[in-house]
Structures are given as structure tokens and as C-alpha cells.
Chain A
Amino acid sequence: MLNRLTKLFENKRENLLTVYFTAGYPKLDDTETIICSLAESGANIIEIGIPYSDPLADGPVIQESGMAAIDGGMTLQVLFNQLTDIRTKTQVPLILMGYFNQLLQYGVDKFLDDCVKTGIDGLIIPDLPLMEYEQFYKDKLTQRNISISFLITPQTEESRIHKVDALSTGFIYVVSDSSITGMKTGISNHQISYFERIKSLHLSTPQLIGFGISDRESYLTASKYANGAIIGSAFIKHLKDKNEVDNATADFINLILKP
């Protein structure tokens, strides 16, 4: 059975633009506006970050947006409430990104059920161990037709890449460099050879390259070596101090997609 994410990959395999934003940032009630504006301007997949107090894989930009969102009142329950009617507005694939502790406290089953109710298609949980997923959660996600994407990095061994390929049901998140989010911009030759190495493995799961993708140039370069790219910190930075997020979001996507 397909969900919106896996259906997208059936139909389009090139230059897929995925955009990350932190739920509740810049303001608590911006969630729906940002999602709709991203979708209308041409983003193919939207990754909604659940703000966390201690996001180990994230740099200062996402950390600060998360703290601002938490201070503004964002919680998982608030987020699911905000998403109740989202499927009457857009059919863009939506994925949630959060740390495993947040799911544990909410209750994993309740979390997954609420994902189904609101129409979430996929998950990224960077600190969920592969083994634990396989043992305890794989069946739960499969039953509910929710995809999951695991990460690989330049240091990931080939045997593990194949394991990630076998377990990922949405896409493989190809972390572009050994770093936390938002640290570097641009793509070096050294990264290109890593992308080529991954491409040459002909993995069965689609791949999206993320971390350090910040503008049209890096988006297009990354898309040459994968099915598309993920932009996060650069979009959060763009939203900072914006009172009106609808046009601000559209402006940002236009800069990425329009030559």
C-alpha cells in the first residue's frame, strides 16, 4: 500500500525538494500557513520538526528555533491539534522529525495513531537504534502504513548502509557531511565523491541529501547525486523575525526553484 510519500517516489524521482521547519516557529500558530505555502510554492515533501530541548544532532539555528517554539507553547499535542484538518488543505507528503524521548513520553502507540489520524506519511527519529526499531516498532509502522527514514553519513560502513536501505521505507537520509545541522554551506569535492560512492551502490530506497543544503546551487548539485535534497537551517534562518510567514515562505522557495 502506498502513502503520499511512497506514491510521490513512484511518480517523481528527480530534484525532489524537501523543506524542514520547526513546528511553532516563528509563532505558535504558523504551522498550517507554512505547510500550505511550502506546498503551493512547489516543495515536494515537508518535514515538520517537533521542537526539542536537547536536540543532539542539531546546530544553533534549529536549537534556537526549537527553544522559541517550546517557549511559545508548542507541544506534540498542540501540533497534532493544529494538523487535524491539514488533509482538507493539501496532499503534500508530510513527515515528522523528532527525538525518540519525545515519542516515548507521548506514548509510541498514541503517537503513531495520531500520525494516522492527521495524515502524517513518514518519520525521522535520528536517535532510534535500527535494532530497536526492527524489534519493537517496525510492525507497528507497517500496519499503519507510516514510512520511516534512517540516516547514513560519510562514516557509515557499507554493510550498515545496506541495512539502512533494507529498513528505510520512505527514503534514505544521506547526511552530506560529518556534522550537526546548519554548520556548513556549499558542497566540496570531497562530499561529491561520497555522494558518487552512495549513488554507485544502486540502493533500492530513494535517497535525499540533507545538511548544508542552503540555496539553489547546493540543491541542484545535491540533486544530481540523489533523488533530491533537504533544506532546513537556511529556511529557519530566513523565517527569523518574519511577522508574515506566507509570502516569506513563498519567496524562499522561489529562490530555490526559479532560475
Chain B
Amino acid sequence: MADDPFFVGWQDNVPKLSRRKVLLAGAGLALGAGALGLGLGNQAPAPGPGVWDQGRKLAMTGTIYPEPYLHLLTEDLGGGPRPVFLVGQGKDRITVRPALTFTGAAVTGTMIERGEHAMMAVDDIYADPAPGRVMPGPETDLGEVVMTGEILDAKCWFGAMRPGHGKTHKACASLCARGGLPLAFCETGRCGEGKAALLFLDARGRAFGPEIIPLVADPVIIRGRIFEVAGLRQVRVALGDVVRL
């Protein structure tokens, strides 16, 4: 101990032995930092199979319905009429001139997709008589359910943000909900890698108002009825039947 070199950091001539030690220690610490980064980076939450290819513009035709959330009912995806939700680039809803709704229309933009779910970030909408009026067909009542899970903002969960659920996403989901973007519901355990969610609507099948905002992204238990409309399942819930866990 008596003859160990005393370290003075501002000296130019750091003793030889201690210089080698300092370099070794520095390299060791730097490598340790890398290993830690690797370990922590590996623990990422599942991003989910959503995609939003912003480089691939496409056009789709069908009929625009403003309710419950603005969507294009189209047969372009195959397998009968299917809804493609229409949103903008950000977290606020877009509006469409009434003249373009309930009649043939064409929409251009980029697709946000996850499993069967489809949404389009719209560039342009114009009248197009070709598809005529696409009708959703009858709705099927699939009965009552009780589920635990999370109210999602559909745009992020479909693929705008990966991952796009859970508490770290709550602030963003609140903005999307406030902006009037579609809400969906995923069951606990299926929010991460899952491909399916339910459109989330009030008991009468309409979009919720701002009263739902505080509940998004929180773990909740809901009691409601499941319906299927135009190939898409929705859950209809009264506000009082959404209970935070």
C-alpha cells in the first residue's frame, strides 16, 4: 500500500503502470456498457405485426361513411365489403365534405395495416361513381361478453407506432382519442403480438365522446355485446360497464 502510485489526474506524467491500468479499466467499462446495452435492448416489448409503409401510395374506391368512425367501405380488399378507416397524418380526425359521403368515392394515401385491420392515412379524396354505393350488409349480434384488456387508439396499434399500447403509450393514445381517431379494444395478453382487436363503441354502436379519454390505455374490465359488421367485429359497451382494474 505504501508504494502504490498515487493518482493525480491533472499530471501529465501519469505513472506507466497506472496508465496501463487506466486504459484497461476504461476499455473494460466501455465493453461493460456495451454488454448492458445488449441485455437491455433485448428486453423490448413486442412491437406487434402492424405496418405503415409511408412510401407506398395507393388508391382505393368504395363508399365513405362518417359513422361510427370515418371509413371507406370497399370491395378492393377482396372478400366482400370491408371498412378501411380514414385518418390523417397526425393524431386528429379529418373531415370529408358531405357530398363525398354515402356515394361512390376514391381515396388515395398510405395503408396502416395489422392482420385484417386496415386504415388509410389519406392524401386525397374525390368523387368516383364507379364503385356505386357499397353497403355494409346486415349486422350479426354475437352475444354478451366480459373481457379484461385495454382500450387502444387504433391508428397507433394498427401500425403507426410499434409498439402502440400499454402505459407508456397512454399519453399518445389520449391525444388520438381526443382527436377523434377510432378506438379499439384488445384482450390482456393479446395486445402485443396479437393481430385482432375489436372496434370499441358505445352501447348504441356510436363513437364515444371525450368521456372515454381518461380510460384509454389503462387495464380495464368491460361488459358489452359483440357485433360483426362488414367483416369487422366490434364491442359495444356502456360507459358504466368500463371499470378500471
Chain A bound to chain B: no
Residues of A within 8 A of B (CB): none
Residues of B within 8 A of A (CB): none
